[in-house]
């Protein structure tokens, strides 16, 4: 094989090969060397086999992965791809061959294998599809429909909109496209930052892939070939955000076992046409340090059953496009690598399926693209809002939506707000991030790539306004204590910036959390405090305090709260009590609040937490800031979610493009590039994208 591997000064792999298949092999082998532990965890997650080495805490995910038939769906999608697009299937196989070639060496470098007793396994051709599916199956937030069921049951249908916002477990992003007439070079810029749960190692890998057909830099997902989300070919660049579309349905099922089978009998499900056979079998989850767990896997004509079963009070099936269509849209991946124009990118994303994204692209000839990509079914509006009864007609899928496109006039900003994706979604992020980015971009018509860092790191918190307005409404006649009055005046003077060094930001966050806890405890909402007995994996969507926290702006400004006669009086009383609570705590402590970064610390997810890990660093930002480092008010000030990467794609000169990831290029603990980008990421700094092969260091690997 004619494969060459290089590294830049940040350890980013630059891979060059004689053709696309050899390059796919090189990419697979590289990720196995750099991220062996990470990708093996992801393979096991897609199969539902993580508890075998991570223990009992992983059983919940394994149960869901098996019940949702993730691995089987990935296999079906690959089989269909193999039939209809054999060239793409061969490309994926070559990547998998590379993974298998490098996994043994990569595992020897990763101490987590020895610590858990895990032996590296063998990847199948469909494994990358399984990794992709398991990574994104919860992106559309279908458990929100379980939450709405509880809201309707407890408060009535009119209360649904109180909580209709980007909430627990939902990933978002910022992205913006600046046309050439607004830049210093006359060529477009694309910049942004995907917001996801921060994982260590990071969920995005900086990489360069070059062969005679193409030369692309971008952010790859470890375990998946190509560059799906963020890439620059030299002639065209693209980026995505979560469209917040609704494309997964939940059906309430009635299940029974056939009477002619005594034990483990065939399962039937009630549909619009009566009782119909459902497939069913039992699988065993092996658990490290505990007894195995059996799980029954059932699939009705709607989809796999992810809650309950025959004889249980509630059973719910999940219908999702890749299972229905046997397609994840992977045909787009090699097409994107070969793209030379926005038209090429547009055609590539016509094949896209999951997750549904907003796409922006620009090329060196001045072409611009702003569209939604993915598979969204046409069906009854109730399907998008609630868990619908499987036995009632009218809830079937009826074809697929055409994906919206919009023209770009100077600037286009995407931040998960209702907008271009409005026709295919229900709940969106508040418009604060989008409006703030737009406001900042309107301040100049000569933007450069280096200017983008100031936008990436903007910490203005517009969503604080309703709480600040309520504080302003408290006057001398409200009987505030002197300590509370001083705290009130302090917050009214606050600049609304959630900077790591700001003690005012900490004081605001403390009052906000106290309001959230008190509002969640009020009798009007407290009925939602006991979530239904659904599987633990869905509990982040069903917990009341986080729901109140993310919907606080609406709850503090709406005219009516179900069960409350005078909502304005209730809010004033809650804010007054919260202000007194925090003021008393500050007085008892005898000192100023600590800076925001002392409490707002990074809290990344690690499959195998390191007990020797020092305290993670503090952060600027907050949930509704452009610098969206999300805390959960009322629960924790720590941030588990934030920018999983930052990028600036320059269409004038690709070598002027910039990027950074939270940790580093390597997933190997102790490696020089394991966390060398963390200080830069914390400060909002970016590193150059190196494109000159003469500035790279060649590696030698036995193939």
CA dihedral over 537, 541, 544, 547, signed as positive or negative? positive
173 is known as an active-site residue? yes
Whether 524 is covered by a domain: the verdict is yes
Give the pLDDT confidence of 134-191 residue by residue, as tens digits: 999 998 889 999 999 999 988 888 888 788 776 655 557 999 999 999 999 999 999 9
Whether 558 is covered by a domain: the verdict is yes
Q: Token pair 């009854």 is at which residue?
A: 380
Whether 187 is covered by a domain: the verdict is no
| C-alpha distances in Å from residue 342, one per residue of 80, 409, 449, 569 | 28, 16, 20, 54
Which is nearest to 178 in space by CA: 350, 461, 346, 370?
370
Identify whether 355 is preceded by a cis peptide bond (ω within 30 of 0). yes
What confidence score (pLDDT) does residue 263 get?
47
C-alpha–C-alpha distance, residues 498 and 496, integer Å: 7
CATH number at residue 261: 2.30.120.10
Judgement on whether residues 146 and 253 belong to the same structural domain of the protein:
no
What confidence score (pLDDT) does residue 262 get?
47
| C-alpha distances in Å from residue 406, one per residue of 46, 316, 364, 371 | 35, 37, 20, 6
Judgement on whether residues 491 and 590 belong to the same structural domain of the protein:
yes
Catalytic pick among 94, 171, 173, 630: 173
Task: Examine the fold and report which residue of 266, 285, 319 is the final residue of a domain before the chain moves on.
Answer: 319
Judgement on whether residues 568 and 474 belong to the same structural domain of the protein:
yes
Binding-site residue numbers for Ca(2+) are 246, 249
Task: Examine the fold and report which residue of 319, 334, 362 is the final residue of a domain before the chain moves on.
Answer: 319
Task: Examine the fold and report which residue of 319, 350, 381 is the final residue of a domain before the chain moves on.
Answer: 319
Whether 3 is covered by a domain: the verdict is no
Number of domains in the chain: 2
Buried b (16+ CB within 10 A) or exposed e, 90-121: ebbbbbbbbbbbbbeebbebbebbeebebebe
What confidence score (pLDDT) does residue 145 get?
95
Q: Which pair of tokens denotes residue 657?
A: 């493009």
Which is nearest to 361 in space by CA: 352, 370, 353?
370
Q: Which pair of tokens denotes residue 691?
A: 């494109």
Using left for φ > 0, alpha for ψ between -120 and 50, and beta otherwise, residue 447 falls in beta
Whether 6 is covered by a domain: the verdict is no
C-alpha–C-alpha distance, residues 443 and 99, integer Å: 47
Backbone φ and ψ of 643, nearest 5°: -70, 110
C-alpha–C-alpha distance, residues 491 and 513, integer Å: 14
Taking a C-beta distance cutoff of 8 angstroms, is the pair 168, 543 a contact?
yes
What confidence score (pLDDT) does residue 609 get?
87
Average pLDDT of each block of 10 consecutive residues along the chain (703 residues)?
93 97 98 98 98 97 98 98 98 98 97 96 98 94 93 86 68 90 97 94 97 98 97 98 96 89 73 96 97 98 97 95 98 98 98 96 98 98 96 97 96 94 93 96 97 98 96 81 94 98 98 97 89 91 93 88 82 94 90 94 92 86 95 96 97 97 96 97 97 93 55
C-alpha–C-alpha distance, residues 480 and 508, integer Å: 17
What confidence score (pLDDT) does residue 170 get?
58
Whether 366 is covered by a domain: the verdict is no
What confidence score (pLDDT) does residue 702 get?
54
What confidence score (pLDDT) does residue 140 get?
86
Whether 563 is covered by a domain: the verdict is yes
What confidence score (pLDDT) does residue 476 get?
61
Whether 269 is covered by a domain: the verdict is yes
Judgement on whether residues 472 and 579 belong to the same structural domain of the protein:
yes
Q: Are strands 388-389 and 249-253 parallel, antiparallel or unpaired?
A: parallel
Judgement on whether residues 258 and 161 belong to the same structural domain of the protein:
no
Q: Whole domain around residue 311: which residue ranges? A: 249-319
């Amino acid at each position: 094989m004619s494969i060459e591997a290089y590294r830049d000064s940040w350890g980013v792999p630059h891979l060059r090969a004689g053709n696309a298949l050899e390059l796919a092999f090189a990419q697979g082998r590289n990720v196995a060397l750099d991220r062996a532990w990470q990708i093996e965890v992801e393979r096991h997650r897609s199969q539902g086999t993580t508890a075998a080495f991570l223990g009992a805490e992983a059983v919940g995910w394994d149960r869901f992965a098996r019940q949702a038939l993730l691995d089987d769906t990935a296999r079906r999608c690959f089989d269909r791809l193999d039939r209809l697009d054999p060239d793409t299937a061969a490309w994926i196989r070559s990547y998998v061959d590379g993974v298998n070639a490098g996994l043994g060496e990569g595992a020897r470098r990763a101490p987590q294998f020895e610590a858990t007793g895990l032996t590296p396994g063998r990847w199948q051709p469909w494994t990358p599809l399984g990794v992709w599916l398991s990574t994104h199956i919860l992106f559309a937030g279908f458990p929100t429909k379980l939450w709405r069921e509880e809201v309707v049951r407890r408060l009535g249908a009119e209360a649904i909109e109180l909580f209709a916002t980007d909430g627990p477990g939902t990933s978002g992003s910022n992205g913006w496209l600046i046309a050439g007439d607004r830049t210093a070079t006359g060529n477009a810029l694309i910049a942004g930052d995907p917001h996801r749960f921060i994982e260590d190692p990071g969920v995005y890998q900086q990489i360069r892939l070059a062969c005679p057909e193409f030369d692309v830099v971008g952010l790859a997902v470890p375990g998946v070939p190509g560059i799906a989300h963020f890439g620059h070919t030299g002639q065209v660049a693209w980026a995505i955000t979560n469209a917040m579309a609704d494309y997964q349905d939940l059906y309430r099922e009635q299940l029974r076992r056939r009477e002619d089978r005594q034990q483990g009998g065939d399962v039937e499900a009630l549909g619009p046409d009566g009782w119909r056979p459902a497939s069913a079998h039992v699988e065993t989850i092996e658990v490290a340090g505990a007894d195995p767990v059996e799980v029954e896997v059932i699939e009705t004509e709607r989809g796999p059953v992810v809650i309950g079963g025959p004889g249980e009070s509630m059973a719910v099936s999940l219908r999702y496009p890749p299972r229905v269509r046997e397609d994840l849209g992977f045909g787009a991946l090699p097409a994107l690598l070969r793209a030379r124009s926005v038209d090429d990118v547009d055609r590539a994303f016509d094949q896209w399926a999951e997750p549904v994204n907003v796409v922006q692209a620009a090329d060196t000839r001045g072409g611009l693209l702003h569209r939604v990509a993915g598979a969204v079914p046409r069906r009854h509006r109730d399907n998008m809002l609630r868990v619908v009864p499987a036995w009632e007609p009218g809830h079937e899928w009826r074809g697929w939506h055409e994906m919206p496109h919009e023209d770009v006039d100077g600037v286009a900003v995407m931040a998960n707000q209702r907008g271009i994706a409005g026709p295919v979604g229900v709940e969106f992020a508040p418009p604060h991030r989008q409006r703030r980015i737009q406001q900042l971009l309107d301040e100049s018509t000569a933007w450069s790539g280096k200017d983008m860092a100031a936008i990436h790191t903007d910490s203005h918190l517009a969503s604080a306004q309703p709480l600040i307005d309520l504080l302003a409404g408290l006057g001398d006649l409200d009987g505030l204590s002197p300590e509370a009055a001083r705290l009130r005046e302090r917050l009214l003077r606050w600049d609304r910036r959630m900077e790591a060094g700001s003690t005012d930001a900490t004081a605001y966050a403390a009052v906000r959390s106290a309001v959230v806890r008190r509002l969640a405890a009020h009798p009007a909402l407290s009925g939602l405090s006991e979530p239904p007995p659904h599987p633990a994996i869905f509990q982040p969507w069903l917990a009341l305090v986080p729901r109140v926290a993310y919907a606080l702006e609406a709850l503090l400004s709406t005219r009516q709260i179900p069960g409350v006669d005078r909502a304005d009086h209730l809010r004033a009383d809650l804010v007054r009590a919260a202000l007194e609570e925090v003021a008393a705590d500050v007085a008892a402590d005898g000192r100023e609040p600590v800076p925001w970064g002392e409490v707002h610390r990074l809290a990344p997810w690690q499959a195998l937490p390191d007990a020797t890990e020092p305290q993670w660093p503090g952060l600027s930002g907050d949930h509704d800031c452009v610098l969206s480092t999300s805390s959960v008010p009322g629960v924790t000030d720590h941030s588990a979610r934030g920018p999983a990467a930052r990028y600036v794609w320059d269409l004038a000169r690709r070598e002027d493009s910039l990027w950074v990831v939270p940790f580093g290029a390597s997933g190997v603990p102790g490696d020089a590039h394991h966390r060398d980008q963390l200080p830069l990421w914390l400060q909002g700094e970016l590193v150059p994208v190196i494109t000159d092969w003469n500035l790279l260091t060649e590696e030698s690997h036995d193939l």
